[in-house]
């Protein structure tokens, strides 16, 4: 799929907003910040990729969606109404999307990694969950959660109970894996870097763009290939921008940049 990039326009990438976490009060402030970022990038955005886990939980019943997120959803609708392209990828926390974004917001939703060509550069884009070596337990659960029968069974639970139950398990999941996701494992152990190198053995890509990892990472995975992880918005407010020649990691707030630079959560940028 080719994305046109007019002169003086840019492509933006962000992921892992986790709206709804840890509670609606804190989430609301983060949502306002995300809308401010969207207002900034709309001045020169040709396309915006939102690469999964926009919500800490999302399920589309036939006539119900989770309460809240009005500011974000309204802003996304305003952007597409202006002709700015937006693409959304599901993540492991919001994999149960089922037509709302396409019908109400005119935004395509992708359930697997996709290939895009932009200004002659090849991009491999996806959330990143379930890719690479290991994590067999989650890969098994992912197949269950994505099964249409399981989705139908969950839809039979009343939304009050279903959403409460899902939010509970979402918090439990983050508590169990959050610390594990905070530390850089080394270039030889980062599973999405390993996965990118495996893909490169079959086909060349200039950029691999993933979320899920929660660390802003920029790693060289081949002579002319880089893996960029978009980080998250609970701490870093990190995103990537492609100007037609180069993709770079950026930070929307000084606090996010300072946190990354302090090494507290191990920002890695390797542009050798």
More confident call, 187 vs 31: 31
What is the spatial distance between Cα 47 and Cα 38, in angstroms, rounded to a whole number? 11
| Model confidence pLDDT, tens digit, residues 191-249 | 999 999 999 999 999 999 999 999 999 999 999 999 999 999 999 999 999 999 999 99
In what order do the strands lie in the sheet containing 85-89?
109-110, 85-89, 45-51, 10-14, 238-242, 247-251
CA dihedral 24, 216, 47, 131 (to 10 degrees): -90
Nearest to 238 by CA among 43, 15, 75: 15
In this structure, what DSSP letter does residue 55 have? B
Give the pLDDT score at 110: 96
Give the pLDDT score at 63: 80
Q: Which helix (H) or strand (E) holds 250?
A: strand 247-251
Nearest to 192 by CA among 161, 225, 162, 165: 225
Give the pLDDT score at 150: 72
Whole-number Cα distances in Å, 43 to 10, 38, 167, 186: 10, 9, 35, 37
In this structure, what DSSP letter does residue 245 have? S
Give the pLDDT score at 268: 45
Query: For residue 155, what pLDDT band results from cuts at 50, 70 and 90?
Result: low
Alpha helix positions (H), 120-268: 136-146, 148-155, 159-181, 191-200, 254-262
Least-confidence region, from 39-48, 64-73, 142-151, 196-205: 142-151
Alpha helix positions (H), 23-157: 24-41, 70-81, 100-105, 136-146, 148-155
Give the pLDDT score at 76: 98
Q: What is the mean pLDDT of the chain?
A: 86
More confident call, 73 vs 181: 73
- Please give the average per-residue pLDDT across 84-105, as a whole number: 91
DSSP, collapsed to helix, strand or coil, labels residue 152 as helix
| CA geometry: angle 128, 219, 260, nearest 5 deg | 85
Give the pLDDT score at 131: 87
- Model confidence, pTM: 0.88
Give the pLDDT score at 137: 60
What is the spatial distance between Cα 13 and Cα 247, in angstroms, rounded to a whole number? 10
Give the pLDDT score at 41: 98
In this structure, what DSSP letter does residue 29 have? H
| CA geometry: angle 232, 116, 48, nearest 5 deg | 45
């Amino acid at each position: 799929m080719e994305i046109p990039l007019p002169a003086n326009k840019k492509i933006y990438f962000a992921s892992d907003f986790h709206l709804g976490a840890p509670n609606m009060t804190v989430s609301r402030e983060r949502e306002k910040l995300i809308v401010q970022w969207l207002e900034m990038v709309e001045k020169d955005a040709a396309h915006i990729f939102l690469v999964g886990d926009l919500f800490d939980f999302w399920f589309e019943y036939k006539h119900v969606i989770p309460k809240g997120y009005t500011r974000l959803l309204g802003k996304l609708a305003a952007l597409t109404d202006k002709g700015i392209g937006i693409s959304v990828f599901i993540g492991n926390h919001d994999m149960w999307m089922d037509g709302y974004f396409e019908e109400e917001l005119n935004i395509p939703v992708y359930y697997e990694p996709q290939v895009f060509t932009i200004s002659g550069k090849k991009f491999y884009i996806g959330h990143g969950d379930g890719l690479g070596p290991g994590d067999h337990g989650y890969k098994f659960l992912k197949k269950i959660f994505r099964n249409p029968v399981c989705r139908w069974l969950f839809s039979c639970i009343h939304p009050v109970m279903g959403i409460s139950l899902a939010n509970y398990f979402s918090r439990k999941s983050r508590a169990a894996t959050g610390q594990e996701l905070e530390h850089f494992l080394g270039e030889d152990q980062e599973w999405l870097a390993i996965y990118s190198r495996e893909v490169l053995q079959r086909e060349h890509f200039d950029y691999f763009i993933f979320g899920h990892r929660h660390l802003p990472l920029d790693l060289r995975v081949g002579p002319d290939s880089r893996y960029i992880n978009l980080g998250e918005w609970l701490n870093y407010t990190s995103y990537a921008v492609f100007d037609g020649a180069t993709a770079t990691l950026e930070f929307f707030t000084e606090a996010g940049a300072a946190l990354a630079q302090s090494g507290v959560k191990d920002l890695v940028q390797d542009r050798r």
